[in-house]
Structure 1
Amino acid sequence: MVEHVLLVEVFVTLFVIMDPVGTVPIFLSLTAGRSPATARRAAWQAVAVSFLVITLFAFFGQQIFNYLHISLPALQCAGGLLLLLVALELLTGKEEEHKASGDANIALVPLGTPLLAGPGAIVATMLFVQDIDDWASGISVALGIVAVHLALWAAMRYSLPILRLIRESGVLLVTRIAGLLLSAIAVQLVADAVRAFIAGEG
């Protein structure tokens, strides 16, 4: 038995936070110059890493935070600073360092985490897990998380034909746009963290 309202709520919430469509230009810029097979592998690796991180925090997130004395604003700020470093490399044309550092590197960081499995997605998942009170609600939350990750994989996997179409000049444009978007996300994460610290939530 599945609680359809909860399933839709989980899917829509995580879809908006993790933003499969907004991930596409960043994915294209980070995989530019790689073979299609390598880019496809990076897509499923990033989704697998994100799913693993989200699942880990769903089960053990509160215990991890309590044990390490980590607050949510601290996690947000760390994620924002990491994304800002990647965004600056994309904006200044130094993203080749990511391309030269191996396939798994971009799939793990920054794609898998903190871009996909970022502070927002982690906290939203932890809140949904706290509301689980029976098998039906548990299955609904699990299916919602799986569905979002399938959407993420599909968005990245089927964005590859775009990369072949826009060619090198288009890739450069997409890279700069991705850097701008990523820097905005990063600054917003840091700003939210600072506001939370000031409000005494840290």
Structure 2
Amino acid sequence: MDPSFLITAWVALFVIIDPIGMTPLFVALTQGDSPSRRRAIALRACIAGALILIVFASFGESVLEFVGISMPAFRIAGGLLLFLTALDMLFERRTKRRKDQADEEDDREDPSIYPLAIPLIGGPGAITTVILLAGQQPGIEGLAWVIGVMLSVVLLVFLLFLTAGLLERALGRTGINVITRLLGMLLAALAVQFVLDGLKGFGLAG
């Protein structure tokens, strides 16, 4: 395997998945959770996100075509779902729900699958990237390398998620609230970009 391809693949997935940028978001989404619950959420999110990317790396766009969904439509759907999460963060709806559910630990909202696993870890950008990378290296060996590179990035995401408690203590409640709103704005912008990319795919936006 060409080392330059592996480096390019790792950098591409690192930039798209953005483990460093996702860590403060993980802190905001799991604010007030116990360390054990945070670890469980992080593990579920990373496993689910990795499985999603493995499926798409292995079978490519045929997975979407099988159910009649185009990649632009998938980008738009991911953007809309992400926008709903951004609204929750901007207007503290998530925080209010957590207070209402404080005495029902087992029933509390779990962000591991949505929005962490998808569309943040296994989002349209990452899915498109693994499809393209797998296409550049056809065959079982090439697919194995692409999956291995992807798993290394997801492992980094998990390790950074484990630092969430330290980050939360460093920022404090006020700092977390400020970061949550700032990230809500950034998440809303990312969501809009997903939608615009999808519209471009349909030829509806320049």
Same fold (TM over 0.5): yes
Mapped pair 1:94 → 2:99: no
- In the alignment, which residue of structure 1 is the partner of 2:38? 39
Q: CA deviation at 1:184?
A: 1.0
Q: CA deviation at 1:157?
A: 1.3
Structure 1 residues 58 and 98 mapped into 2: Cα distance closer, same or farther (>3 Å)? farther
Unaligned runs of 5+ in 1: none
Count how many residue pairs are aligned between Structure 1 and Structure 2: 199
Q: Deviations over 1:121-173 (max 9, x none)?
A: 00110111122235553332122111111111122112320112222111111
In structure 2, give the amino acid aligned to 1:78.
Answer: A
- Partner Cα separation in structure 1 for residue 58 and residue 141 of structure 2: 17
Alignment of 1:1-202 (within 5 A): 2-96=1-95, 99=98, 100=101, 102=107, 105-134=110-139, 136-198=141-203
- Partner Cα separation in structure 2 for residue 105 and residue 146 of structure 1: 23
Contact 2:79 2:194 in 1 (8 A): yes
Unaligned runs of 5+ in 2: none
- Partner Cα separation in structure 1 for residue 179 and residue 62 of structure 2: 40
Contact 1:28 1:160 in 2 (8 A): yes
Q: CA deviation at 1:181?
A: 1.3
**Superposed CA RMSD:** 2.0
Q: CA deviation at 1:16?
A: 0.4
> SS at the partner of 1:198?
coil
- Partner Cα separation in structure 1 for residue 129 and residue 72 of structure 2: 14
- Partner Cα separation in structure 2 for residue 42 and residue 167 of structure 1: 21
Contact 2:57 2:143 in 1 (8 A): no
Structure 1 residues 77 and 130 mapped into 2: Cα distance closer, same or farther (>3 Å)? same
Contact 1:3 1:136 in 2 (8 A): no
Contact 1:98 1:106 in 2 (8 A): no
Q: CA deviation at 1:97?
A: 6.4
